[in-house]
Amino acid sequence: MPEENGDQGDTLKIGTGQTSEAQHGSISTASAQKTIMSPAYQSQRAQSLLNNINGVLVGQTQAARLTVLCLLAGGHVLVEDVPGVGKTLLAKSLATSIDSKFTRIQCTPDLLPSDVSGVSIFDSKESTFTFRPGPIFTNILLADEINRATPRTQSALLEAMEEMQVTTDGTTRKLPDLFFVIATENPIEYHGTFPLPEAQLDRFMIALSLGYPKLHQEIEILDKTLKEGSFEAKAVLTEKQVLEARQAVKEVFVEPSVKNYIVSIVSATRSHPGVVLGVSPRGSQLLMRAAQANAFIDGRDFVQPDDVKFLAPFVLGHRIIPKVRESRVSHAELIERILEEIPVPV
């Protein structure tokens, strides 16, 4: 009997020790999880992605920032500029910086909607139709020279960009949780092109232009050209980490005065004498989401009016239609004029 009591005592001590270790492990895991989900930690991930892209691109820090914050805000980007300034390189650098699936579509007038969304092919052995997904079933999609595709093919992107799904042959198929479109177009050429309709332009959160590099930047580009692999980026984030960062962006606080500032700017576009068509409520939503992402990248958990003021020309510029007499003024410049008329909350 004493031996049995001793065994029971030993067993009891061992059991108590295991419980203590399990509790300690649980606390450590919870602490690690809290650190991973903290805004500061997530912001560091965003900065590492941004730095990785800037290590490939030369002189395009603003364009890289706008693209990254658009990705984190869950939007899509339209890059308008002449050939050879780095539009495709920007898209590729972002895609390769994330360990995810990347697809490129070179848009041409003979590109069909089924070439984008996919097609059902008859299997003679099984006597059934098998769906073969198109390039749109990816994580990051580069639609190069999108204005060369016909309106019918352009419209194939509408449902995907807004609803995160594709409908073919009467069947709706969901896209991956991480789905990001970077579309490029050449605003100079008009032959063989089809201007994007307002309905599709409205699907893009941000429209930006890269512009020509400065003299010293172009010399740096020449130096990088002589080095093997200098224009290739390595993966620094996973698909899961990007989705976690997106969730953290949604938690960034927007106080009522900033919301009122956003709505005041958008409302002013509808009554401005130089604008025929103002910004819709969707513009207000996207401007707020972009401002949240911009604050997140800076490591803040709240939005400042400066975030809104910085992003307004890029988020709202392509959503307005100016009058003919204002045609020499860019859309972004019109938004900047409107910003000067709206008092900034303090």
The 10s digit of each residue's pLDDT in 142-175 is: 999 998 999 888 888 877 888 899 888 888 899 9
Rounded to an integer, what distance in angstroms lies between the CA atom of residue 181 and that of residue 105?
11
pLDDT along the chain (346 residues), means of 10: 45 43 50 54 87 91 95 94 87 90 91 90 84 92 91 84 86 92 83 81 92 91 89 91 94 96 96 89 96 95 96 94 66 90 90
Q: Tokens in use for 54?
A: 């800037």
Contact 269/279 with Cβ under 8 angstroms? yes
- 67 contacts 60 by C-beta, under 8 angstroms: no
Computed from CA positions of residues 315, 316, 319, 324, in that sequence, does the dihedral angle turn out positive or negative? negative
Share of the chain above pLDDT 90, in %: 52
* Residue 19, pLDDT score: 47
Q: Which CATH architecture has domain 41-227+234-248?
A: 3-Layer(aba) Sandwich (3.40)
Full 3-state SS string of 296-344: HHCCCCECCHHHHHHHHHHHHHHHCEECHHHCCCCHHHHHHHHHHHCCC
- pLDDT, mean over the chain: 85
Distance (Å, whole) CA 152 – CA 113 = 7
For residue 11, what pLDDT is reported?
40
Whether this prediction's pTM lies above 0.95 is answered by no
Give every CB contact of residue 136 below 8 A, 6+ residues apart in sequence. 103, 116, 117, 118, 156, 157, 160, 166, 175
258 close to 303: Cβ distance less than 8 angstroms: yes
pLDDT of 38 reads 61
pLDDT value for 316: 95
∠ CA(262), CA(185), CA(205), 5° rounding? Answer: 20
The two tokens of residue 91 are 């898209």
| Dist. CA 313–CA 277, nearest whole Å | 16
pLDDT at 77: 95
Q: State how far Cα 130 lies from the chain centre.
A: 32
Segment (H or E) for 120: strand 118-123
Beta-strand relationship, 180-185 and 140-144: parallel
Supply the pLDDT for residue 23: 52
**What angle separates helix 331-341 from helix 305-316, to the nearest 10 degrees?**
150
CATH number belonging to the domain at 251-346, selected among 1.20.1730.10, 1.10.132.20, 1.10.10.10, 1.10.8.80: 1.10.8.80
Place of tokens 């092109």: 193
Q: Where are the domains of the chain?
A: 41-227+234-248, 251-346
> Radius of gyration of the chain from Cα atoms?
25
Q: Residue 79 burial (CB < 10 Å; 0-12/13-18/19+)?
A: buried
pLDDT computed for residue 163 by the predictor: 86
Amino acid letter, residue 8: Q
Burial 114-146 (b: 16+ CB within 10 A, else e): ebbbbbeeeeeeeeeeeeeebbbbbbbbbbbbb
Q: For residue range 97-129, what is the model confidence (pLDDT) as tens digits?
A: 999 899 999 999 999 999 999 988 888 888 888
